[in-house]
Amino acid sequence: MKLILHIGVPKTGTSAIQLFLWENRNLLLKKHAILYPESGSFNVYIYPYKAHYKIAYSFPTIVSIQASFKKEEIFSSLSEEIRLSKPKAVILSCETFSLLKKTEDLYNSLKGLDFEDIYVVVYLRRQDLWFESSYKQVIKTGEYSGPFNKIPNATHMEVIDYNRLLAKWTTFVPPKNIYIKIYDRRILYKNNVIDDFCLVLSDILKDKVDLKTENYKTANPSFSHLSALVKLRVCQNYVITSAREHVEISNYLLTLDKEEGSGPLKTFFTLEERIEFLERFRESNERLFREWFNSENKFVLTPEEIEFYKEQDKIPKDEIERLVEERYQKVVENVIKKFEAKPKVYIPVELSKLV
């Protein structure tokens, strides 16, 4: 029996993969003898699928949010589910696995489940793109309502210094069993992460996993940069107290993204800031690609991107301010007034201070 640990990292299509695995769990078991266990899982926030957060959060993580799940009960339930299902392979998927402080604690608990081989699947995203996407995510969910900070903190470094991250897993998983994939739709198999993940499963299991994948591309749609700034302004000006309210505001903004377009703004970094940000990871990235891909560093700006971000730097701030204000007023009129959110004491904030 093989164990496949899908460990993230966050913002690399994990929601799409987990939705696919959850909705196809019966077919995966029947057709391929792959178990995506319900044990140790729950659904986060409003998402209908389940990932293995209970397992991940039964161990200490590098983030401040901790949960008190009973490890013994979780692994006892997991063991029983495996015994009854008799699978050839078990998939545990949770991006929080990439946030564990000591992966060997997880390994010691997994040893009692009689897996012959353990595999790790991890998707890595170029750090500047990951950083902006993560910021838009926490603004969308309401977990954070502060300005975009262009300097990674210690927690970020634990996740996106990829050599440091991988070193935690190579202590008990041989490198040949670690599948490192680059999260870039241009190079993913069939240009989407679900087909790419199925290709990895097929290679591990020596059995082609060919379920329908086309319905799982937007499990966790991203904000535009413009809508992120609008949501930020809403949170700074109004008291948003419930998850339901955050969801309603964010869903309305996602609708505007679809109907009106994402706007001209495609970055929170200036070009100079983006280059400086990537320079923090240059040595680590060079080692990553040299040791794992036998290639030169691919996490660099292309000439086309450099020209694109030069043009982004020329967008007038007052034009972005106008677009943010127009969309902000629509949110106030069509959403905020509906659930009567209380305004905060308003202190004008220049757009330059937010981005």
Write down the domain spans for the chain: 2-205, 225-265+315-354, 271-311
Q: Kindly tell me if the per-residue pLDDT of 350 is higher than 60.
A: no
Residues 6+ apart with CB under 8 A from 219: 15, 16, 18, 19, 47, 49
Task: State residue 46's pLDDT score.
Answer: 66
CA pair distance 311, 290, nearest whole angstrom? 32
pLDDT digits (tens, 9 = 90+) for 168-201: 999 999 999 999 999 999 999 999 999 999 999 9
Question: What is the crossing angle of helices 193-205 and 14-23, to 10°?
Answer: 60
Across 215-284, the runs of DSSP E, i.e. the strands, are 238-239
In this prediction, residues 292-319 reach a mean pLDDT of 98
CATH topology of domain 2-205: Rossmann fold (3.40.50)
pTM of whole model > 0.75?
Answer: yes
Half-sphere exposure at residue 351, Cβ-oriented, CA atoms within 13 angstroms: 18
Helix or strand or coil: residue 121? strand
- pLDDT band at 210; cut points 50, 70, 90: confident
Q: Is the dihedral of CA 274, 280, 282, 285 positive or negative?
A: negative
**So what's the pLDDT on residue 345?**
60
Asked whether the predicted pLDDT for residue 57 surpasses 60, the reply is: yes
pLDDT band at 47; cut points 50, 70, 90:
confident
Q: Are 189 and 183 in contact (CB under 8 A)?
A: no
* Per-residue pLDDT at 88: 97
Average pLDDT rounded to a whole number, residues 90-109: 95
Query: CA-to-CA distance for 154 and 149, rounded, in angstroms?
Result: 13
